[in-house]
């Protein structure tokens, strides 16, 4: 087994284990920590797929931004320390059956799909190329995303204002 | 199995997607639902980047994943703001308790 | 006995420093030897070195070292070893050809460097703080100015009882310390100590270091939460708020040299500053100098150093987010903080202040780089080498310590005001101005070179002033008020 394959299986085990941890955990902060594990593992997978820039952006924005926002949300909205909200047993059972069926179906399709075995193309994705694509082919989505971020900032700041005391 | 190809990445992404779906549908904590959404989005991004690397050859998949990351961050911000308001009004973060239209 | 130890303490210290440099340099030299052996044998045996690199066997290396390869092969500058020496040396050299051995050596080196630096920095901080407060600091432990104080502290912390709070989440409590510590180590993977001394030369190295700064915030947040202590949580939330807010001007300040140079690769940015004092990026135009200052202040807030050290506000929150941590877990947070301080200083040096090059142009010493070992060592000390980067990092760490013990702490709302209403617009203006400057003013024009000269003059004046004041203070140390150059205390 080549080094790259070994690295992939280790990181994939970490990602799958963290995702299972998210599923099993009852404490919300432990779920957030398992999400950190998943995000880190996915960033490592991006490194393996030669998407270096995307991997560091995942670490900066997702693990160092969105996850911190989620943990802040947990801290602000938790009533007691270590509160456990368990799902109802019937819901959990139906959910498990449906999700397992979905996973089995997806795997069956994936293993049988006739992907013509294409040799992996030479990864020539430098940061400069991403920049040129963003400002070239994808200019309109890029500008729309910046407008969207502005709207989100204003909206979130307005929504989270302290309640006016009448 | 010894050389890693496209199928392994897709199976892993499917597994992450299914875990995220389970979390989204069964957790009662609203922030837990948001965590499930993040898992699903990550699975989709992984899918896109794997396809871009193994089948397409250009970096369009990475650009799409970049946009997904940006939009997920924006969506998480608005969601947390909504949850903070929900908690202020109902004094609980249990998503099942928000079943009255008043408030 | 004490007086004898005192006399030999400083020579022992110098020998220790030389030994550490030797231990760090020897593997690099051996790796270079293995590479040259592989290249020589590759040319002789006509291996296809462009493709998959063939593995050298121990026998190959032994034959090379003995000079007993069949045929007329006579490598240049070849020292012939005896048989047993060649066998022993071959076994030592054989594992060094694999990528994974070099990676393990790099990780060991990084961990060792961070530990040594953290111990040194803790001792030094106490001495600097003491001198600024007209007292002496640690003087007893180990004899000469308490140099072994950090070792003693480390031993004490190791044997302390591991206290767990009732009702706290034990796995989370443990994990928070690790999540705070691992990114602080991880960012040294992409931090170059010299053009060749880097664990992984990532083409996105700068953002990787930025990412590691950001992930470390999470450890602090979880530490505050897992302590089941209201005050720890307040400290953690204030700290996270401050660190994240200051990442925005930090990012803007990082964008300015990246825009000037055009790459995110740290070795390229460093190599561009090899021509002497005036080619350092911070002195190219006044906007880069302003960006350097903004970067420095933003990293002060990111490392929770005063004047932004509200999270550790000892007079307000006991100890902030790490109140409930004892023993070695507490030390882990501090190791992480000192590692981040050094990384921030080293990053400032790489991006703005000449990286691993000395103020002399590297072209003057070009012939020394390929000479015998003592010439290479001299080149490393005079012109360019890891010692220069470590020295600059230590200088910036000193400036951080100096600011901590001089300036008063500022309140959280003042911190946020400074970030959002002062530094963020300033950073944006600097970025915009630099964009226009790079677009409109070519490098070789009169305006460009005049700006370069003015900024270089400012920088030179500051550096010379610091050196001058230090020399004056050292020469007159018995006469000036507050220096307290006294004889050693009885019993030491």
pLDDT per residue as tens digits for the range C429-487: 999 999 999 999 887 888 888 999 999 999 999 989 999 988 888 788 777 766 555 55
- Mapping DSSP to helix (H, G, I), strand (E, B) and coil, where does residue B94 land? strand
Residues C145, C487: contact at Cβ < 8 Å? no
Please report the ipTM that was assigned to this predicted complex: 0.91
Higher pLDDT, C354 or A144: A144
Secondary element (H or E) of residue A10: helix A3-24
- Taking an 8 Å cut-off on Cβ atoms, the answer to whether A22 and B19 are in contact is yes
In a domain, C403, yes or no: yes
Residues C219, C181: contact at Cβ < 8 Å? yes
Chain A CB contacts of C171 under 8 Å are: 30
Domain check: are C255 and C318 in the same one? yes
Length of chain A: 166
Token pair of C302 as six digits: 């990111």
**Which of these ranges, B36-45, C173-182, C205-214, has the smallest mean pLDDT?**
C173-182
Mean pLDDT of C144-165: 79
Higher pLDDT, C83 or C48: C83
Token pair of C490 as six digits: 């009885």
Domain check: are C111 and C69 in the same one? no
Quote the percentage of chain C above a pLDDT of 90.
24
Chain C CB contacts of A81 under 8 Å are: 167, 228
Residues C370, C345: contact at Cβ < 8 Å? no
Domain check: are C348 and C416 in the same one? yes
Token pair of C303 as six digits: 């490392």
Q: Is the peptide bond before C307 cis (omega within 30 degrees of 0)?
A: yes
The whole-number pLDDT of residue C20 equals 83
**Which of these ranges, C51-65, C302-316, C382-396, has the smallest mean pLDDT?**
C302-316
Q: In sequence order, what are the residues at sequence separation of 6 or more whose Cβ sits closer than 8 angstroms to the Cβ of residue B17?
A: A106, B39, B40, B43, B44
In a domain, C362, yes or no: yes
Residues C232, C223: contact at Cβ < 8 Å? yes
Domain check: are C281 and C427 in the same one? yes
Secondary element (H or E) of residue C342: helix C328-352
Q: How wide is the angle at C-alpha C198 spanned by C-alphas C197 and C202, nearest 5°?
A: 150
Which range has the top average pLDDT, A105-119, A141-155, C81-95? A141-155
Domain check: are C25 and C169 in the same one? no
Domain check: are C56 and C122 in the same one? no
Compute φ and ψ for C217, nearest 5 degrees.
-60, -35
What CA–CA distance (Å, rounded) separates B94 from B27?
Answer: 9
pLDDT tens digit sequence for A74-89: 988 887 766 677 777 8
Q: How far is CA B22 from the centre of its chain?
A: 11
The whole-number pLDDT of residue C322 equals 66
Chain B CB contacts of A19 under 8 Å are: 15-16, 19-20, 39
The whole-number pLDDT of residue A1 equals 63
The whole-number pLDDT of residue B59 equals 85
Name subunits touching C (3+ CB pairs < 8 A). Answer: A
Q: What torsion do the CA atoms of C434, C436, C439, C440 make, to the nearest 10 degrees? A: -120
- Mapping DSSP to helix (H, G, I), strand (E, B) and coil, where does residue A80 land? coil
The set of long-range contacts for C93-100, using a CB threshold of 8 Å and a minimum separation of 24, is: C93/C30, C93/C33, C93/C34, C93/C37, C93/C61, C94/C56, C94/C57, C94/C58, C94/C61, C96/C27, C96/C30, C96/C31, C96/C34, C97/C34, C97/C35, C97/C38, C97/C55, C97/C56, C100/A3
- Taking an 8 Å cut-off on Cβ atoms, the answer to whether C208 and A72 are in contact is no
Higher pLDDT, C288 or C233: C288
- Band (pLDDT 50/70/90 cuts) for residue C6 is low
**Which of these ranges, B32-41, B66-75, C284-293, C402-411, has the smallest mean pLDDT?**
C402-411
What CA–CA distance (Å, rounded) separates C417 from C421?
Answer: 5
- Taking an 8 Å cut-off on Cβ atoms, the answer to whether A81 and C222 are in contact is no
Higher pLDDT, C378 or C282: C282
Residue to mutate among A159, A162, A164, with most B CBs inside 10 A, is A159
Number of structural domains (chain C) is 2
Quote the percentage of chain A above a pLDDT of 70.
89
Domain membership of residue C29 as a residue range: 2-97
Q: How far is CA C245 from the centre of its chain?
A: 24
pLDDT at residue B2 tops 60: yes
Domain check: are C114 and C90 in the same one? no
Domain check: are C22 and C136 in the same one? no
* A54–C contact, CB cutoff 8 A: no
Length of chain C: 492
pLDDT at residue C306 tops 70: no
The predicted model scores a pTM of 0.90
- Band (pLDDT 50/70/90 cuts) for residue C315 is very low
The whole-number pLDDT of residue A122 equals 62
Higher pLDDT, C198 or C63: C198
Residue to mutate among C55, C215, C235, C416, with most A CBs inside 10 A, is C215
Token pair of C415 as six digits: 């911190």
Domain check: are C24 and C164 in the same one? no
- Band (pLDDT 50/70/90 cuts) for residue C95 is confident
The whole-number pLDDT of residue C491 equals 59
Nearest to C329 by CA among C340, C319, C316: C319
The whole-number pLDDT of residue A41 equals 96
Domain check: are C326 and C399 in the same one? yes
Query: Which residues from C are below 8 Å from A when comparing CB atoms?
Result: 100, 167, 169, 171-172, 175, 179, 202-204, 207-208, 210-215, 217-218, 221-222, 225-226, 228, 233, 237, 240, 244, 247, 263-264
Strand partners, C65: none
Of A29, A63, A64, the CB nearest to C225: A29
CA distances from C233 to B84, C165, C403 (A): 18, 14, 27
Residue of B nearest to A50 (CA): B53
Quote the percentage of chain C above a pLDDT of 70.
86
**Which of these ranges, A92-106, B22-36, B73-87, C72-86, has the smallest mean pLDDT?**
C72-86
Terminal alpha carbon distance of chain B: 56
Mean pLDDT of chain C: 82
What CA–CA distance (Å, rounded) separates A158 from A155?
Answer: 5
Residues C237, A72: contact at Cβ < 8 Å? yes
pLDDT at residue B52 tops 60: yes
The whole-number pLDDT of residue C332 equals 85
pLDDT tens digit sequence for C209-268: 999 999 988 988 888 888 777 777 877 888 888 888 999 999 999 999 999 998 899 999
pLDDT at residue C285 tops 50: yes
pLDDT at residue B92 tops 50: yes
Residues C225, C249: contact at Cβ < 8 Å? no
What CA–CA distance (Å, rounded) separates C492 from C489?
Answer: 6
In a domain, C176, yes or no: yes
Q: What torsion do the CA atoms of C462, C463, C467, C472 make, to the nearest 10 degrees? A: -10
Token pair of C30 as six digits: 């051996």
**DSSP-assigned letter for residue C422:** I
pLDDT at residue C314 tops 60: no
Mean pLDDT of chain A: 87
Residues C206, C264: contact at Cβ < 8 Å? yes
Length of chain B: 103
The whole-number pLDDT of residue C411 equals 80
- Band (pLDDT 50/70/90 cuts) for residue C85 is confident
Domain check: are C326 and C424 in the same one? yes
Higher pLDDT, C131 or C417: C417
The whole-number pLDDT of residue A36 equals 95
Mean pLDDT of C377-404: 87
A&C contacts, CB < 8 Å:
76
**CATH of segment(s) A1-96:** 1.20.120.1200
- Band (pLDDT 50/70/90 cuts) for residue C313 is low
- Taking an 8 Å cut-off on Cβ atoms, the answer to whether A102 and B21 are in contact is yes
CA distances from C313 to C115, C326, C401, C404 (A): 25, 17, 16, 12
pLDDT tens digit sequence for C328-371: 788 888 888 899 999 999 999 999 998 888 888 888 877 777 77
Please, what's the largest Cα pairwise distance for chain C?
A: 79
Mean pLDDT of C286-300: 93
Domain check: are C180 and C274 in the same one? yes
pLDDT at residue C149 tops 90: no
Residues B73, A62: contact at Cβ < 8 Å? yes
The whole-number pLDDT of residue A34 equals 94
Radius of gyration of chain C (CA): 25
The whole-number pLDDT of residue A5 equals 87
- Taking an 8 Å cut-off on Cβ atoms, the answer to whether B50 and A133 are in contact is no
Residues C357, C382: contact at Cβ < 8 Å? no
Which range has the top average pLDDT, B4-8, C159-163, C175-179, C209-213? C209-213
């Amino acid at each position: 087994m080549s080094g790259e394959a070994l690295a992939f299986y280790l990181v994939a085990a970490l990602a799958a284990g963290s995702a299972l941890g998210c599923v099993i955990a009852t404490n919300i902060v432990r779920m957030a920590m398992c999400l950190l594990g998943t995000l880190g593992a996915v960033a490592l997978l991006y490194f393996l797929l030669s998407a270096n820039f995307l991997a560091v952006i995942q670490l900066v924005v997702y693990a160092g931004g969105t996850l911190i926002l989620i943990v802040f949300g947990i801290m602000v909205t938790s009533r007691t320390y270590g509160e456990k909200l368990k799902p109802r047993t019937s819901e959990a059972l139906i959910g498990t059956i449906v999700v397992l069926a979905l996973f089995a179906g997806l795997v069956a399709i994936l293993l049988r799909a006739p992907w013509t075995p294409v040799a992996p193309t030479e990864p020539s994705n430098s940061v400069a190329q991403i920049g040129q694509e963003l400002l070239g082919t994808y200019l309109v989505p890029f500008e729309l995303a910046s407008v969207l971020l502005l709207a989100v900032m204003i909206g979130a700041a307005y929504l989270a204002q302290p309640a006016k005391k009448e | 199995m010894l050389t890693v190809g496209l199928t392994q990445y897709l199976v892993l992404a499917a597994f992450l997607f299914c875990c995220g779906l389970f979390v989204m549908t069964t957790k009662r904590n609203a922030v837990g639902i948001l965590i499930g959404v993040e898992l699903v989005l990550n699975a989709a991004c992984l899918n896109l980047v794997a396809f871009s690397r193994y089948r397409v050859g250009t970096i369009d998949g990475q650009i799409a994943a970049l946009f997904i990351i940006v939009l997920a961050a924006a969506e998480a911000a608005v969601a947390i703001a909504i949850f903070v308001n929900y908690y202020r009004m109902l004094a609980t973060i249990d998503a099942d308790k928000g079943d009255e239209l008043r408030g | 006995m004490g007086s004898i130890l005192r006399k030999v303490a400083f020579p022992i210290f110098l020998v220790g420093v030389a030994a550490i440099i030797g231990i760090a340099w020897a593997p690099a030299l051996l790796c270079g030897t293995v590479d040259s052996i592989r290249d020589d044998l590759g040319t002789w045996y006509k291996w296809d070195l462009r493709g998959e690199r063939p593995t050298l066997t121990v026998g190959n290396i032994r034959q090379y070292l003995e000079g007993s390869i069949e045929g007329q092969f006579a490598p240049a500058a070849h020292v012939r070893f005896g048989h047993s020496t060649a066998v022993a040396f071959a076994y030592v050299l054989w594992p060094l050809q694999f990528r994974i051995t070099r990676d393990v050596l790099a990780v060991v080196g990084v961990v060792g460097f961070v530990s040594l630096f953290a111990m040194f920095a803790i001792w030094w901080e106490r001495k600097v703080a003491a001198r600024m407060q007209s007292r002496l600091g640690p003087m007893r432990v180990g004899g000469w100015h308490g140099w072994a104080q950090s070792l003693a502290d480390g031993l004490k912390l190791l044997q302390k009882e591991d206290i767990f709070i009732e009702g706290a989440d034990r796995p989370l409590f443990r994990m928070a310390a690790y999540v705070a510590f691992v990114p602080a180590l991880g960012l040294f993977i992409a931090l170059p100590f010299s053009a060749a001394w880097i664990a992984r030369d990532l083409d996105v190295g700068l953002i990787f270091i930025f990412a590691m700064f950001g992930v470390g915030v999470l450890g602090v947040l979880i530490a505050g939460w897992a302590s089941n202590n209201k005050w720890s949580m307040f400290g953690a939330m204030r700290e996270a708020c401050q660190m994240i807010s200051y990442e925005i001007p930090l990012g803007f300040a990082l964008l300015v040299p990246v825009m000037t140079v055009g790459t995110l690769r740290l070795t390229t940015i460093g190599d561009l500053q090899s021509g002497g004092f005036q080619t350092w990026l911070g002195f190219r135009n006044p906007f880069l100098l302003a960006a350097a200052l903004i970067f420095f202040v933003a990293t002060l807030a990111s490392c929770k150093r005063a004047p932004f050290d509200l999270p550790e506000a000892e007079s307000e929150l006991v100890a902030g987010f790490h109140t409930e941590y004892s023993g070695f877990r507490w030390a882990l947070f501090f190791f992480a903080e000192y590692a981040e301080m050094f990384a921030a200083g080293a990053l400032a040096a790489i991006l703005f202040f000449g990286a691993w090059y000395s103020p002399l142009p590297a072209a003057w010493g070009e012939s020394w780089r390929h000479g015998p070992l003592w010439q290479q060592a001299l080149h490393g000390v005079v012109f360019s080498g890891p010692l220069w980067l470590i020295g600059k990092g230590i200088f910036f760490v000193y400036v951080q310590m100096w600011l901590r013990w001089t300036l008063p702490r500022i309140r959280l709302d003042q911190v946020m005001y400074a970030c959002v209403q002062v530094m963020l617009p300033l950073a944006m203006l600097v970025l915009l101005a630099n964009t226009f400057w790079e677009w409109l003013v070519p490098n070789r024009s009169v305006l460009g070179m005049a700006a370069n000269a003015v900024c270089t003059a400012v920088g030179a004046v500051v550096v010379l002033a610091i050196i001058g004041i230090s020399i004056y203070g050292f020469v007159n140390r018995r006469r000036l008020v507050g220096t307290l150059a006294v004889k050693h205390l009885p019993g030491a």
